[in-house]
Amino acid sequence: ILGVRDIHADHAASHIGKAQGIVTCLRATPYHSTRQKVFLPMDICMLHGVSQEDFIRGKQEKDVRDVIYDIASQAHVHLEHVR
């Protein structure tokens, strides 16, 4: 965008974009849940025994929080790559 042509800058921007996308998805989860939609990775949900219905019903049990934590941890990993 600023005319920077550097492979390292491109790599960092890629990881920042991925982290931002993950965070945006997490932040939008309550909104989407009220509309009967869940856009979280089902493999992570299944790993913790959480269903889409748990999010739609607004459950805040430990298993649901663990799903959110695991997904947020992926964003953190991307930020660590940038550093």
Q: For the segment 32-56, what is each residue's pLDDT rounded down to a tens digit?
A: 999 999 999 999 999 999 999 999 9
Domain-embedded: residue 12: yes
The pLDDT assigned to 1 comes to 60
Domain-embedded: residue 73: yes
Domain-embedded: residue 62: yes
Residues 23 and 75: beta-carbon distance below 8 Å: yes
Q: What global pTM score does this model have?
A: 0.84
Q: ∠ CA 15-75-59 to the nearest 5 degrees? A: 155
Domain-embedded: residue 37: yes
Which is nearest to 82 in space by CA: 24, 18, 1, 6?
A: 18
Domain-embedded: residue 2: no
- Number of domains the chain contains: 1
Question: What mean pLDDT do residues 1-13 have?
Answer: 80
